[in-house]
Structure 1
Amino acid sequence: MQIDYAVGEGPSIYGVDLASKGLRKWELRSDRLKLATQRISSFMAFYPWTFIRTVTFIGAAAIVLGTQAPLAQDLSTPSQWPDTPTSRVQALAVLQTLNAQLLSNASATLTLDSWCALHKLAPGGSKIVAHRVRGQDKPADALIRELLAVGPDEPVSYRRVHLACGNRILSEADNWYVPARLTADMNNALNTTDISFGRAVQSLKFTRTNLSAELLWSPLPKGWEMGAELPASAMAPLAVPPFLLEHHAVLKLRDGTPFSALIESYTSSVLDFPAPHVRRR
């Protein structure tokens, strides 16, 4: 993964000091997110409270919590996960794992391919399919044009898609891209088919600069790692809001030229599988 480090107090993209422009929502946060999840999977089979103590140790540094969207909270729906302290810790660990995988790979499509297969979210052999959302065009604003290093008159195309694994929509993505920096075949595929952007431009061997990563929902209360009381077990399933993660990123050619700016919103369907079984010793 390619990272553009800060100029001054904030991240810099092609010489644009985003912090100096008050654009702190684009803060670079991926280093902390990647660090904490490298050992998550090895703890999942441990005794529940061993697992909780371990996640407590790494939890505060593992993830940057975004502001919870009231609408998302209002639309919370039941899941396959029980509402227990242990399953809440597991849900946070799984979200951390997905976050790190997305941040450490250039293509979200290929990452979701693997996530879909590993968690059996669709029949075997299924791949992520893009469903184009038409009629909701969003012109590139000044910030998008700065991120793409284009002038006010250079054409910038827009695509909105739902990335689906079988019948589950795993993410919704807004994508602004510079058609002049793609091949004619790529532009034709993007204009005439529902192919995912990552698959269409895969031959470019592009890199990804992550600008921000926000956890839109936490299954645990603020301060839980410092001893705050965890929610009591409930008879109902764990209520999960529609959107769990939001990533902002720029894709670049091998020479560093940006060609795509993305906003990716990951849905509750990424957790649409049974909670991990914890074996008691």
Structure 2
Amino acid sequence: MAVGIKGLLRASILLFSPITLGWSLPAAAVPVNIPPLMTAGEMLTQLNQRLVHSKNSAATLHYWCQQQLNGADDLQIVQESTRPQTPPADIYQKLQIPEQTPLRYLKQRFIHQGKVIAVFDYWYRPDMLTAKMQQALAEQHTALVSIARQADFYRLSLGNTPRWPEQGAMPPFVLEHEAVIYRSDSKPFSLIQEHYSQQLLPRAQQLNPY
């Protein structure tokens, strides 16, 4: 695991602390607040790098929950499929498809232990859904990007926007990604806009981000 300079300094403090060296000190001398080995920014940078290369961002998020949030068993998906306005023109431009192409909107929220850790917005082509994909989507338990990946579709990142500050309070959403999901024949299927919240950070990094 890559650890930045702050993380290395924290690790060195722990390594050469009196507790590690086995010195006998009064109980009052034992440090109560041990800082986390990685800052929030370092952890989010690591997640960001994984997402840039991910063909299935929901699977990457699931793995993150397993590694950083004490398991992914509590991860749930809540989805809504209605949105009043028509697709913005830039959606068609990013998908590189004609504006008369029918698109459908879908929002999926990823909830872990009662907290929203990510929100995915999709504009997708319903005519490219296979019967199996339609059935999986109707069950409302699986991320569309994962359903597409199971059908040999793949995700390619268009760009990412880190939103965490170098100091001060963390904003509600700390990272944004935009990507296109393609069918195996490289035909664009969906634009996906991903918003990752500060709740995907472990509790230690939320309390002490820096």
Alpha-carbon distance change, 137 to 196 in structure 1, aligned in 2, over 3 angstroms: farther
CA displacement at 1:142 relative to structure 2: 1.9
Match of residue 10 from structure 2 = 48
Match of residue 163 from structure 2 = 216
Alpha-carbon distance change, 116 to 192 in structure 1, aligned in 2, over 3 angstroms: closer
Q: Aligned with 1:174: secondary structure?
A: strand
Whichever residue aligns with residue 152 of structure 1, its letter is E
Using CA pairs under 8 Å that are at least 6 residues apart, name the structure with larger relative contact order, 1 or 2.
1
**Superposed CA offset, 1:205-252 (max 9, x none):** 2232211111112234xxxxxxxxxxxxxxxxx732211001111111
Q: Aligned with 1:170: secondary structure?
A: strand
Whichever residue aligns with residue 202 of structure 1, its letter is R
CA displacement at 1:111 relative to structure 2: 0.5
- Paired residues for 1:93-112 under 5 Å: 93-112=42-61
Match of residue 274 from structure 1 = 204
CA displacement at 1:100 relative to structure 2: 0.7
Alpha-carbon distance change, 249 to 171 in structure 1, aligned in 2, over 3 angstroms: same
Question: Are the aligned partners of 1:109 and 1:199 in contact in 2 as well (CA < 8 Å)?
Answer: yes
Match of residue 182 from structure 2 = 252
CA displacement at 1:196 relative to structure 2: 1.3
In the aligned structure 1, how far is the partner of 2:65 from the partner of 2:55?
A: 17
Match of residue 185 from structure 1 = 132
CA displacement at 1:110 relative to structure 2: 0.4
Whichever residue aligns with residue 56 of structure 2, its letter is S
- Paired residues for 1:122-137 under 5 Å: 124=71, 126=73, 128-137=75-84
CA displacement at 1:188 relative to structure 2: 3.6
Alpha-carbon distance change, 205 to 50 in structure 1, aligned in 2, over 3 angstroms: farther
TM-score normalised by structure 1 residue count: 0.58
Number of positions where the alignment pairs a residue of Structure 1 with one of Structure 2: 187
Alpha-carbon distance change, 191 to 208 in structure 1, aligned in 2, over 3 angstroms: same
Match of residue 90 from structure 1 = 39
Whichever residue aligns with residue 159 of structure 1, its letter is L
Question: Are the aligned partners of 1:157 and 1:177 in contact in 2 as well (CA < 8 Å)?
Answer: yes
- Paired residues for 1:53-202 under 5 Å: 90-121=39-70, 124=71, 126=73, 128-191=75-138, 193-202=140-149
Q: Once superposed, what is the RMSD of the aligned Cα atoms?
A: 3.1
